[in-house]
Structure 1
Amino acid sequence: MVFAHKPVLPGEHVTLRPVGPEHVDGLWELVNDPETIRLTGSRGRPEREALKVWYDSRGAQGDRLDLAICTTGDDVYVGEIVLNELDADNLSCNLRIALIGPRAYGRGYGTEAIRLTLDHVFTTTPLHRVGLEVYAFNERAVHVYRKIGFVQEGVCRDALLMNGDWYDSVIMSILAPDWVVREI
């Protein structure tokens, strides 16, 4: 179980904490924010009680790591970062991140959360590859991923149908050796 240990990862602007029922109000705000919904291509709205059950169950999942992104100092929930889709045979997993909306955008929270997570993954686990997909219209996220060291591997054409329009999904990854030699 690669993610049996659920760490607290402190940073300068954010602290990553294992998600729990205490973060449900923030998750509720996140899944109902129109801009977050657009950027993630989300469909449907879960009920608040289902979110509580979901966050309460994440600690027992050894094949994934779900962390709340909380501001340092006042510990306010501003999003989540998740490592999931673990492929233990090939030492890889998927990364996804969502911030709570415009009040969390542009403050460096996502960049720091990704860096903290990747540093944890590549220094404490045997994982070799972390991949992700991002919609091509989310230029801010694509820029951040590239800045951190993710490399574009391909494009899934017309992967999302939203409001009658088709959008591509960009496939990116970062490898453990890339992380070790990156410019800090």
Structure 2
Amino acid sequence: MTDFAYKPTLTGDLVILRPVDESDYEALAAAMDDPDVTRLTGSHGEIGEEQARTWYRTRKDQTDRLDLAIVDKASGAVVGEAVLNDWDPDNQCCNFRILIGPSGQGRGLGTEATRLTVGYGIEKLGLHRISLGVYAFNPRAQRAYEKAGFVVEGVFRDALLWDGEWVDEIMMSVLASEWIPSEV
């Protein structure tokens, strides 16, 4: 039975994933303000600080999604967030998204956070399918998703207009029947 009301803490070798809250705002705002992160996530526009703080403050109360802060075990710093959202209870599926700021990149933190989150979604929440979209100019993220078991399903052509250029969005998913529990 899927229960997004419970907010777990998941621990790996490199990261701790814990429920996100308002105290994570500064670290996450810094990550989202990075020009490369903004581009790789296709983020247009900004939200105000109070709106963002309210958003993070209310994540623990959501019963249809899971928002986890990614904490680098080596430094104890919040370096990003991992999210299961867009839950479709009739089809036992949801979307996955992740954001890693510059201080958490290039060290396997994103790959481990992805594996932990997907493992929780499939093994504990009983999800059948977890999907995501990754922009074509982000091959590093695509490789991390593939390491976590995601498979390319197709392409949304010209899905993002970035700096006057159209960018494809690569659609990926992992199914419960394909998930290898030892990866968690």
TM interval, short-chain normalised? over 0.9
- Return the alpha-carbon distance in structure 2 between the equivalents of residues 121 and 16 of structure 1: 13
Q: In the alignment, is residue 24 of structure 1 matched against residue 20 of structure 2?
A: no
Which residue in the other structure is 2:36 paired with? 35
CA RMSD of aligned residues (A): 1.5
Q: In the alignment, is residue 148 of structure 1 matched against residue 162 of structure 2?
A: no
Q: Which runs of 4+ in 1 moved over 6 A?
A: 181-184
Q: In the alignment, is residue 100 of structure 1 matched against residue 64 of structure 2?
A: no
Which residue in the other structure is 1:5 paired with? 6
How far residue 75 of structure 1 moved from its aligned partner, in angstroms, is: 2.1
Structure 2 unaligned spans of 5+: none
The question of whether the paired residues in 2 share the 8 Å contact of 1:31 and 1:45 is answered with no
Indicate the SS of the match to 1:51.
helix
TM-score (norm 1): 0.95
Aligned pairs (5 A) from 1:34-113? 34-101=35-102, 103-113=103-113
- Return the alpha-carbon distance in structure 2 between the equivalents of residues 146 and 58 of structure 1: 28
Structure 1 unaligned spans of 5+: none
Choose 10-19 or 70-79, whichever is displaced more.
70-79
- Return the alpha-carbon distance in structure 1 between the equivalents of residues 29 and 181 of structure 2: 38
How far residue 180 of structure 1 moved from its aligned partner, in angstroms, is: 3.3
Query: Identity of aligned pairs, percent?
Result: 48
Which residue in the other structure is 2:178 paired with? 178
- Return the alpha-carbon distance in structure 2 between the equivalents of residues 65 and 71 of structure 1: 19
- Return the alpha-carbon distance in structure 2 between the equivalents of residues 182 and 73 of structure 1: 23
Change (3 A) 1:183 1:61: closer
The question of whether the paired residues in 2 share the 8 Å contact of 1:9 and 1:15 is answered with yes
- Return the alpha-carbon distance in structure 2 between the equivalents of residues 50 and 2 of structure 1: 26
- Return the alpha-carbon distance in structure 2 between the equivalents of residues 181 and 23 of structure 1: 30
What is the identity, as a one-letter code, of the residue corresponding to 2:55?
A: W
Indicate the SS of the match to 1:4.
coil
TM-score (norm 2): 0.95
